[in-house]
Amino acid sequence: MPKREPLPTQFVGIPFAAADARDCGISASRLRASDLRVPIRGVREPRTAENSFELQIGRYAAHMAEDEYFSHVTAAKLYGIPLPRHLENMPIVHVSVHEPAFPPRVRGIAGHRLSVPIAPRTRNGFRMVSPARTFTQLAAVLSHDDLVIAGDFLVKRKAPLCTLEELAAAVNSMGPARGARSARLALPEVRQGTDSPMETRTRLMIVRAQLPEPVIGHTVRDENGDFIGTPDLAYVRERIAIEYQGSDHWTNPAVFADDIERRILFERAGWVVILVIAKHIFSNPHWTAERIREALRDRANLPPLP
């Protein structure tokens, strides 16, 4: 049996367009070889490749038309926007075109035709609608809190993907589109500078309890002006720091030790630290809000910071 011709490096281990392979001199018989399969017309991929989101995206991207862009939940996944599990596991790939082009009709692909600006971006080699447009598309499928979390993620503290102004412009362009009302209700609650979805949930829980909205990203310093830390949320006048703690805060010894040391420094500087975990948000929000309310009441008459 003749030895199988190896594929060029750029086609190894990934989906690729058969036309691109032929342009590189790969024969039709090699493209029919048993180590390759045809997931969709015009595309080849390794027969041993395990199905995954990345593989699904790669399959379509291999022969994507120039006027097509990943969108909706698919773009959200590519941007890393936090999503509920049922959407994270959704197998459908969403692809949009701008009118008057016709959306794709391919098995496993949800095609969309948009009349609003796409403002495309390229990320990791994939063409997508803009982060702000993705936010408006998610408005039709996310709950209010999950949509605020998505917005917070897009304007997060580290490496934001867009600005509040870009989000507002995208929402204002929606007209009567599906999800427009949800987007307009969520946008005023989106805040810049957050670090995690649970930080956002904590803030929303506090505001719903009719407590003052805490500050995001306040820097705490000691009496010498030395940096102590930046709590997730803070009431600056009352010197209350609210810290959400995920499981890594007590399962990682180094993180646990740092938390203790930082809390001691906060308290030496006259701050009280309120720790919040997931159970406090999902199971006991009323109790958590009362802890914060009591701390605000107890510290209402503190002298102002120097």
Give every residue of the chain whose pLDDT is below 50, as ranges: 1
250-289 pLDDT tens trace? 677 777 888 889 899 999 999 999 999 999 999 999 999 9
281: CB partners within 8 A, 6+ apart? 198, 201, 202, 205, 288
Q: Cα angle at 35 between 60 and 31, to 5 degrees? A: 65
- pLDDT the model gives residue 249: 66
Sign of the CA dihedral running 189, 195, 201, 204: negative
**What is the domain partition of the chain in residue ranges?**
9-58, 64-189, 197-298
How many residues in total does the chain contain? 306
What CATH code is assigned to 197-298? 3.40.960.10
**CA–CA distance, 306 with 66 (Å, rounded to integer):** 59
Per-residue pLDDT reduced to its tens digit, 2-39: 667 787 777 777 677 777 778 787 777 777 777 777 77
For residues 193 and 218, the answer to whether their CB atoms sit within 8 Å is no
* Strand-strand pairing, 69-70 and 93-98: antiparallel
What long-range pairs does 4-10 form, CB within 8 A, spacing at least 24?
A: 4/30, 4/33, 4/35, 5/30
Element (H, E) at 221: strand 220-221
The model's pTM: 0.83
Amino acid at position 260, single letter: I
- The contacts of residue 88 (CB under 8 Å, 6+ apart) are 77
- Share of residues in the chain with pLDDT > 90 (%): 61
In this structure, are residues 40 and 59 in contact, taking their beta carbons and an 8 Å threshold?
yes
